[in-house]
């Protein structure tokens, strides 16, 4: 299908208030869409179905499912934007957000009503650091919302800009009339499976990209990355035949840099994490629940840091830092929902956060959320 017909199909689905998801996997040109035939809200907690799942941060609730058996699928090869739309993107990217002095940006932020948000987030980070020093946990990921009024609230236009701006990430637009409208461009893989082979990643640390990948990471960022890597390896160790990890590298996503370690291996379907024999589908669910939420979006230990987040962040994360992607019997591909926004009432609700350790500096953590918000704002 050509791109014009593809996006017209999405627009019709949206106007008819029918659920759908459109997405492009990292470093590919194919944009896929699954168009649900009715407005029913399907959910899953078994992950045995075939379709596309969208799961909350708090995994006590079922994930939303767009089932393949009750949907149509379409695909186009990416050639998305008109010349005028491309000019808009280039103009936004050429604004030197990265070079705006922090004190200037902070002053601008205060003028648009972010003073209270800054105060709350810095106090939240201080509270997290105190809890770490009291040995309640080793790391916690703390986040906040930032709300932006939209002059153009057409979600398909925003989705096109995401596709053209973020080529190396998982880019998506997801809609259900009974849940809401979300878009994002996430750099983090939660879990990929192909038969009994799997891969996942540890992703942590954030720096602004300033023209080179060869940057110096401080001890706080290296420690944060090591926490995530060690957690994944140790918790999967008993349920795999073999496991390996790559060397840690600096990667670029949009205008941000992160530390990344790829972890691969072979799942042992004869064993569960408890040592009992399980069906392959049951095993997949256990591995998934072991990984989600990872220390990269929650903290370490998981349960203690998650409890702190739910009790101290002053909002509901909903699908932010949840996961989304394709599931089926043999091959699944799931991503952590980062760099995302919810569109609601002519506003974009942005979600940003960062990992807190004992060495975190509250003011720096606030500025990191500002940088992350600025990156996603470019497509608005």
pLDDT at 114: 62
DSSP 48-104: -SSEEEEE-SSTTSPEEEEEGGGEEEEEEES----HHHHHHHHHHHHS-GGGS-HHH
Q: Mind listing the pLDDT tens digit for each residue in 63-73?
A: 999 999 999 99
Contact between 189 and 335 under an 8 Å Cβ cutoff? The reply is: yes
pLDDT at 244: 94
Question: Other C-beta atoms within 10 Å of 242: how many?
Answer: 9
Task: Give the H or E element holding residue 236.
Answer: helix 219-236
Q: What is the pLDDT confidence band of residue 111, given thresholds at 50, 70 and 90?
A: very low
Q: Is 5 exposed, middle or buried (0-12, 13-18, 19+ CB in 10 A)?
A: exposed
- The encoded tokens of residue 328 equal 């089926």
Average pLDDT of span 238-254: 88
| Average pLDDT of the chain, as a whole number | 87
Contact between 34 and 52 under an 8 Å Cβ cutoff? The reply is: yes
**What pTM did the predictor assign?**
0.88
Q: Mind listing the pLDDT tens digit for each residue in 48-58?
A: 999 999 999 99
Q: How many CA atoms lie within 13 A of 37 on its CB side?
A: 7
pLDDT reading at 191 higher than 50? yes
């Amino acid at each position: 299908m050509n791109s014009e017909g593809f996006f017209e199909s999405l627009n019709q689905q949206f106007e008819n208030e029918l659920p759908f998801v459109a997405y492009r996997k990292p470093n590919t040109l194919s944009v896929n869409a699954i168009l649900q035939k009715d407005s029913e809200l399907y959910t899953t907690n078994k992950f045995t179905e075939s379709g596309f799942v969208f799961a909350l941060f708090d995994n006590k609730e079922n994930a939303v499912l767009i089932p393949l058996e009750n949907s149509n699928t379409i695909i186009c090869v990416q050639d998305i934007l008109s010349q005028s739309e491309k000019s808009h993107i280039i103009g936004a990217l050429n604004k030197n957000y990265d070079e705006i002095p922090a004190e200037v940006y902070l002053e601008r932020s205060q003028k648009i009503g972010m003073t209270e948000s800054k105060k709350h987030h810095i106090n939240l980070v201080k509270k997290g650091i105190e809890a770490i020093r009291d040995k309640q946990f080793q790391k916690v990921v703390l986040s906040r919302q930032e709300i932006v009024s939209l002059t153009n609230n057409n979600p398909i236009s925003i989705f096109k800009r995401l596709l053209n701006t973020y080529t190396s990430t998982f880019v998506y637009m997801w809609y259900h009339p009974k849940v809401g409208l979300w878009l994002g461009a996430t750099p983090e893989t939660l879990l990929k499976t192909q038969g009994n082979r799997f891969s996942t990643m540890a992703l942590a640390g954030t720096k602004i990209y300033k023209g080179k990948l060869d940057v110096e990471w401080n001890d706080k960022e290296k420690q944060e990355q090591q926490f995530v890597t060690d957690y994944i390896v140790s918790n999967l160790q008993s349920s795999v035949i073999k496991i390996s990890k790559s060397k840690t590298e600096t990667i670029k996503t949009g205008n941000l840099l992160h530390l990344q370690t790829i972890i691969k291996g072979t799942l042992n379907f004869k064993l569960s994490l408890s040592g009992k024999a399980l069906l392959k589908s049951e095993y997949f669910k256990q591995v998934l629940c072991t990984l989600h939420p990872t220390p990269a979006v929650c903290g370490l230990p998981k349960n203690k840091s998650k409890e702190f987040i739910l009790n101290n962040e002053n909002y509901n994360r909903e699908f932010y830092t949840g996961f989304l992607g394709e599931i089926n019997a043999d091959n699944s591909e799931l991503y952590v929902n980062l760099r995302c926004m919810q569109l609601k009432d002519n506003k974009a609700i942005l979600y940003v956060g960062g990992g807190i350790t004992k060495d975190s500096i509250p003011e720096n953590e606030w500025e990191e959320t500002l940088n992350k918000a600025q990156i996603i704002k470019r497509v608005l």
